[in-house]
Amino acid sequence: MPAQTIGKQLIRAATSVGANYRAAVRGRSRGDFLSRIGIVEEECDESLHWIDVLVELGFVPRKRVEPLRKEADEIIAITVSSIKTARKNAKN
C-alpha cells in the first residue's frame, strides 16, 4: 500500500510539471509566467523527492530511476534558468 500511495503522489507531481509549464507559456503577463514556472520548478523537485522515497524504501532500484532523475534535474536547470532570465528582463 505505501508504494501505491507514493506512486500516486509522484504521478500528481510529475503531471503537474507539464500542465503548469503549458500554463506558464500561455501566461498573460510576466508575473503570471513567473508564478507558473515557479510551480513547475517546485513540482519537478517534488517528483524527485517521491522518486528518492521509492528508492530509499526499496520499492524501486536506483539504477532503474536514474534516467528519470537525470531528466528531472535537467528540467529543473532549464526552469531555474528561465526564471532568472524572466526576472532579469523584468528589471530592464
Cα(20)–Cα(16) distance, rounded to whole angstroms? Answer: 6
Which class for 79: exposed (0-12), middle (13-18), buried (19 or more C-beta within 10 A)? buried
Whether the predicted model's global pTM rises above the 0.95 cut? no
CATH of the domain at 25: 1.20.1440.60
Half-sphere exposure in the Cβ direction for 12 (13 Å, CA): 9
Mean pLDDT of 58-85: 96
Per the structure, the complete domain to which residue 77 belongs is given by 2-91
Task: Give pLDDT tens digits for 18-37.
Answer: 999 999 999 899 999 999 99
Total domains present in the chain:
1
Residue type at 52? D
Band of pLDDT at residue 92, cut at 50, 70 and 90: confident
